[in-house]
Structure 1
Amino acid sequence: MLAIIRYSVPDARTGEFAEQAREILDLLASQPGYVRGRLGRSVDEPGLWALVCEWEGAGFYRRALSAARLVMYPLMTMMLNEPSAFEDVDPPVSPKLGSR
């Protein structure tokens, strides 16, 4: 399953946010069921950031959020209030060998 948590980050807090988001990713990576994760920033709206993770299932993700609650707390004022858990409906698509 895919987890996407989006944040609206003021310019003045960009450095602080990126550092704390990396701490969150490190903590999440230590949780059972974690597959991979990354931090992204919108190309069109630099104040919009996304913490994106893949999990073996929604239960793993929900338990990991509980474990990361204290580390995530300082960034909650910037978190967009929207659903964050998405189930896979199709298998992942990989690039074909030899394609450009």
Structure 2
Amino acid sequence: MIAIARFEQALSQAVDFRAELESVKAVLSEAAGFISATVGQNLDEPTLWVLTTEWENVGSYRRALSSTRAKLEAIPVLARAIDEPGAYE
């Protein structure tokens, strides 16, 4: 299962935002069922960002998001994602 979260962030905040996404990636990587994650900045529109995560299954992904640490550290950042479907099989 792949989860994609896209973001739009001012270019002036790129360094700080990358650090925030890397922190989210670190939190999620500790969850059972986590396979991999990638943070990327769009080459053509540098205000666009993506966090792509891969999971063993959708249950693993949902359980990871419901952990206390994710609620405190990851969800506040993920809540700023562009509102669009992001879960893929």
Name the TM-score, length of structure 1 as normaliser.
Answer: 0.79
Alpha-carbon distance between aligned partners in 1 of 2:45 and 2:61, rounded to the nearest angstrom:
27
Alpha-carbon distance between aligned partners in 2 of 1:8 and 1:53, rounded to the nearest angstrom:
18
Name the Cα RMSD after superposition.
1.3
Distance of aligned partners of 1:56 and 1:75 in 2 relative to their CA distance in 1, 3 Å threshold:
closer
How many residue pairs match? The answer is 86
In the TM superposition, residue 54 of structure 1 has moved relative to its aligned partner by 0.5
Distance of aligned partners of 1:57 and 1:74 in 2 relative to their CA distance in 1, 3 Å threshold:
closer
Q: 4+ residue runs of structure 1 moved beyond 6 angstroms?
A: none
User: Counterpart in 2 of 1:23?
Assistant: 23
Aligned-partner SS, 1:15 = helix
Q: Which segments of 5 or more consecutive residues in structure 2 lack a partner in the other structure? A: none
The equivalences for 1:4-83 within 5 A come to 4-67=4-67, 68-72=70-74, 73-74=76-77, 76-77=79-80, 79-83=81-85
Alpha-carbon distance between aligned partners in 1 of 2:77 and 2:50, rounded to the nearest angstrom:
16
- Match of 2:41, as an amino acid? R
In the TM superposition, residue 75 of structure 1 has moved relative to its aligned partner by 5.6
Aligned-partner SS, 1:45 = coil
Aligned-residue sequence identity (percent) comes to 36
Q: Which segments of 5 or more consecutive residues in structure 1 lack a partner in the other structure? A: 88-100
Structure possessing the higher radius of gyration over alpha carbons = 1
